[in-house]
Each structure stands twice: as C-alpha cells, then as structure tokens.
Amino acid sequence: MLRKLLTNGHIRCARRFSSSKAIPELTKDRYNVKRGEYSLLTDGHMAFFMNLLGQNRVINDPSECESYNIDWIKNVRGQSRCILKPRTTEEVSKILEFCNENKLAVCPQGGNTGLVGGSVPVFDEIVISTALMNQIESIDEISGVIVCQAGCILENIDQQIGEKGLMVPLDLGAKGSCHIGGNVSTNAGGLRLLRYGNLHGSVLGVEAVKANGEILDCLSTLKKDNTGYHLKHLFIGSEGSLGVVTKVAIQCPTKPKAINMAFLGVESFDSVLTTFRRCKNELGEILSSFELIDALSLDVVTGHYKMQSPIPQFPFYILIETHGSCNEHDEEKLNRFLESAMGDGVVLDGTATNQPSKMKQLWELRESITQGLLMDGYVFKYDLSIPIKEFYAIVDVMNEKIGKDAVRICGYGHIGDSNIHLNLSFKEYSKEMHNKIEPFVYEYTSSLKGSVSAEHGIGFRKSKYVHYSKSPAAINLMQDIKRMMDPNKILNPYKVLPESS
C-alpha cells in the first residue's frame, strides 16, 4: 500500500562548509609529501599577475586565501598565497604561458567541491579559480546544445536552460556550488547517469588551455564529428592535469514534462537487486534514477538533521525517479510496477509522489547524507564501482574488520551504475585507523575487478592507488601523455598519476 509523504518533516538543505571548525593539518605534513622543483613565487611574478588581472582579481591575503587552500571535507590543506581569477580564456592562456616559462606550479579550481583533494594546492601552487568565468554563451533550443564558460555553477545553468525547456544531463549533490568546468575535468557522474549517460557521451566540445598557454579549440557543438582524434576526451576526467578547461559545449536533453518518484523500503540486498531488475524491465525508458540508501545512511539525516523518513525503518531504502513526456503513462507504469513489487512482498513499504515539494524532500534525504556524515567527526570516504552482485558485501566486510571502533559504517549510492559510496566515520582522524582501512579497501575492490574511484576521481589522495584499477601499460601511457602535454609538470602536480620513477 502506498502512503503519502509526511509533510511536517524538517529538512535542512542549505549547502554548508564542513560542520567542524577545526582546520586540517597541512597536506605536506599529514601525507609527508616532498615539494617539486618549482620556482618560488616572487614579487616580480605577483607584479605580472596584478598587471594582467588588476588588483581585485589577485588574492594574496593569507586569510582570504584560506578557503581556496582547504578542501570541502577538510582533509587536505595547502599554502597557496596567490589566487588568480581570470575572466577569459585569453587570460588563462597568458597565466599558463607565464607559469610554464617560469616553472610555477598551478592548481586549477572550480567550485572546490571535490572529495579527493584534487582541487586545492598541496604546497604553494598558484590557484587559478574559474569563479569569474561564469557566462552561458549560447543556448540552441532546437538542437539542445549549450555553450558555457567553465565557471558556471551547475544549478545556475540548469535553471537558465530550464526556461527554454532543456535540462543539464548531469545532476549531483554539490550542484549548488560545483562548476561545470570542474564537472567535466573530473568526469562527474551523479544521480541520473543511468538515464542520461556520462559526460564523455554528452559533452560535445571542450575548449582548454594547454600547459604552455596554447588555446585548444575543440569546442564543437555538433553531435557527430569524426574528423581525427577525439581530443576533448583528454580533458574530460584528467582533473586539470593536462590542461585547464575554459569552455564546454553540452548536449542537453528535453526537460521532462512528467517527473515521478518513489521511496521504498526492502528487507535485504537481494530484494534491492530484484527490485532493480523489475524496474529496468517495467519502467524501461522512463527510469532516470535508482538509488540505494542503507539504514545507517538514512540515520545520518534523520539523526543529525532531524529529517523525517516517509516510511518506517527498513534495512534498505530505494529511491526511484522517472522522467517522461506523458504523466498519465508514467504514473500508470510506476503504479503497475509498485503494485506488483509490493503485492508479492519484494517491496515492503513505499510512497510515491509527483508533487514538487515532496519530491524535493525525498531528494534531500538522499543528497544530505554526504554532508551529514561530517557531523559524525572524521569520515573515510570511498567511491567504488563494484560488480552489481557483490555491490553491498563490502559494507559487511568493513564492519567485520573495523566494527565497533567506528561511529558508523554505511553505504549508499547509484545501484543503476554499480557505484557505491562507502563511508566509515570516526570521532576523529587517526593514522592507525587509516592504515587499517587502506589499502585493504582498494585491494578488496581490485580483487572484484572494481574501480577504486568510480566518479570522484583520483585527485591528491588516491594517486598511489591507481594501480589497483589500471594495468602498468595503461599507467605508462598516462605518464607518456602527461610528459607530452605538460613537460614541466606545472599542471596540478602531486595528483592523478602515481609518482613516476
């Protein structure tokens, strides 16, 4: 039986910085990193930047620099004393040309919402922030293609093109802060990849600036263009280590006329899988999200934020969303699926809605988990692809290994993409616990031929674990590409690739 969503749930959704006020240890100390042989910033360098951008777009006051030096989950902290805010591709080009000639390391930064320490400096790298590159340049309503600067905030783009009947194919929890250039650079996945595919498929073109300042115009707005190598993919997911993305062209789908959601409770992970198979079969083309939340993940938001769940407690919750062009048809499909799944006991309880405010509440239950976890204390976060049959076993494995020492060990994520977010929270960071969890968690994932970073990327914190998911030949080729495109290694150093011998 379906029941209505409770409407008196207090849902807090404002995106905030970490709840903890403590600033993290310096990355160089916590992780014992050695600074590369880059030049030190001089007054002469600063004068060049001031002259290029003007005083307002060069930040060097230590307290103002701080938020650019610390990542969102407060795990890493750099010491940059130079934050640059270009407005145009040409300015980015001049900055990089100068930095390359002067062997100054740089760290490109978008909304700084990354979870692997890729978007903040490790030492004193110059931060190139895309914050002021925030213009949507064109929207083609017939083809659905938009072109925008790298610093546009995802949610802002979605709102603006929504007025023209389009939607961004990408959606993720950090949408209110993250920049589209950062999304592309990290090949962000998110909540609706199941339906709308990945960015390698939907990004039609990229403009990027190479390490030497050369502007590479691959900003095609065409769906099909087989004229030579598909260079844009070098920048999608290489986390700013091969070039700085300055503009992107994206194929945007038509905004759905009908959106429906369901929030279901099931008894076991097997029931989750059964529900997924049925969903794919019965909802077919309208299924846009299939998300898993385990009991302890939901407890994060019902506990810390006092949000209310619309159904009683179950071991697993499933959040389903459909996007379609005819509400009558979509409701019929969804109701038929729910009646059959609840009728034979696979789904134990559930609620369905297409009221915008209630759907927003359901999404907030899911999207607030990441942030809520920070209130536990320190969180070890893993973003793993694991073959679907073994998807959830890792939570049990970690429980067995760590158990009572943790505040919480939980898993949630994108079942439809075999992507689990495994989280282990503790009152505070401890090196000992760190060593107990890693590299075990990566070894385990590797043994199942999974990926040690499904969508968050490698950044600073995972570079030594790449080999768990990539062969030596692949890593060698990555290093060849890096040498070819950035011989002075100025772009986002200490990240993405394992140190070369």
Residues 124-163 that bind its own copies (CB under 8 A): 142-143
| Contact (Cβ atoms closer than 8 angstroms) between residue 374 and residue 19 | yes
Question: For its own copies, which is the closer residue by CB, 78 or 237?
Answer: 237
Q: How far is the CB of 421 from its own copies (least distance, A)?
A: 11
In the set 110, 181, 189, 411, which binds its own copies (CB under 8 A)? 189
Q: Kindly indicate which of the ranges 4-12, 212-220, 259-267, 304-312 contains the residues binding its own copies, using the contact rule CB under 8 A.
A: 212-220
In the set 298, 478, 490, 491, which binds its own copies (CB under 8 A)? 478
Decide if residue 450 touches its own copies (CB under 8 A): yes
Q: Kindly indicate which of the ranges 60-68, 196-204, 307-315, 353-361 contains the residues binding its own copies, using the contact rule CB under 8 A.
A: 196-204
In the set 12, 30, 45, 233, which binds its own copies (CB under 8 A)? 233
Q: How far is the CB of 468 from its own copies (least distance, A)?
A: 8
In the set 237, 350, 411, 493, which binds its own copies (CB under 8 A)? 237
Q: Residue 102 is encoded by which pair of tokens?
A: 């002067």
Under rule CB under 8 A, how many of the chain's residues touch its own copies?
Answer: 90
The separation between CA 374 and the C-alpha centre of its own chain, rounded to angstroms, equals 17
Residues 62-101 that bind its own copies (CB under 8 A): none
Question: For its own copies, which is the closer residue by CB, 123 or 468?
Answer: 468
Q: How far is the CB of 68 from its own copies (least distance, A)?
A: 23
Q: Is 494 left (phi over 0), alpha (psi -120 to 50) or beta?
A: left
Q: Which of 209, 148, 159, 211 is nearest to 181 (CA)?
A: 148
Q: How far is the CB of 7 from its own copies (least distance, A)?
A: 30
| Contact (Cβ atoms closer than 8 angstroms) between residue 89 and residue 207 | yes
Question: For its own copies, which is the closer residue by CB, 118 or 372?
Answer: 118
The three-state secondary structure class of 472 is helix
| Contact (Cβ atoms closer than 8 angstroms) between residue 348 and residue 275 | no
| Contact (Cβ atoms closer than 8 angstroms) between residue 168 and residue 177 | no
The 3-state secondary structure of 335-391 reads: HHHHHHHHHCCCCCEEEEECCHHHHHHHHHHHHCHHHHHHHHCEEEEEEEECCHHHC
Decide if residue 256 touches its own copies (CB under 8 A): yes
In the set 333, 358, 366, 421, which binds its own copies (CB under 8 A)? 333
State the amino acid at position 371 in one-letter form: Q
Angle between helices 393-402 and 440-447 (to 10 degrees): 150
In the set 101, 474, 487, 499, which binds its own copies (CB under 8 A)? 474
Question: For its own copies, which is the closer residue by CB, 388 or 397?
Answer: 388
Q: Kindly indicate which of the ranges 105-113, 184-192, 341-349, 426-434 contains the residues binding its own copies, using the contact rule CB under 8 A.
A: 184-192
Question: For its own copies, which is the closer residue by CB, 28 or 456?
Answer: 456
Q: Is 444 left (phi over 0), alpha (psi -120 to 50) or beta?
A: alpha
Question: Phi and psi dihedrals of 323, rounded to 5?
Answer: -120, 130
Sheet bearing 126-129, strands edge to edge: 58-59, 83-84, 126-129, 106-109
Residues 419-438 that bind its own copies (CB under 8 A): 419
Decide if residue 389 touches its own copies (CB under 8 A): yes
Q: Which of 338, 178, 205, 347 is nearest to 268 (CA)?
A: 347
Residues 269-298 that bind its own copies (CB under 8 A): 273, 276-277, 280-286
Give percent helix, percent strand, percent coil of the chain, each to the nearest 5. 40, 20, 40
In the set 20, 160, 177, 220, which binds its own copies (CB under 8 A)? 220
Residues 339-358 that bind its own copies (CB under 8 A): none
Residues 94-113 that bind its own copies (CB under 8 A): none
| Contact (Cβ atoms closer than 8 angstroms) between residue 424 and residue 409 | yes
**Range 273-277, long-range pairs (CB < 8 A, 24+ positions):** 273/388, 273/389, 274/346, 275/318, 275/341, 275/346, 275/347, 276/388, 276/415, 276/416
Decide if residue 393 touches its own copies (CB under 8 A): no
Decide if residue 500 touches its own copies (CB under 8 A): no
Decide if residue 325 touches its own copies (CB under 8 A): yes
Q: How far is the CB of 416 from its own copies (least distance, A)?
A: 8
Q: Kindly indicate which of the ranges 68-76, 89-97, 186-194, 353-361 contains the residues binding its own copies, using the contact rule CB under 8 A.
A: 186-194
| Residues with Cβ within 8 Å of residue 144, at least 6 apart in sequence | 166, 251, 252, 253, 254
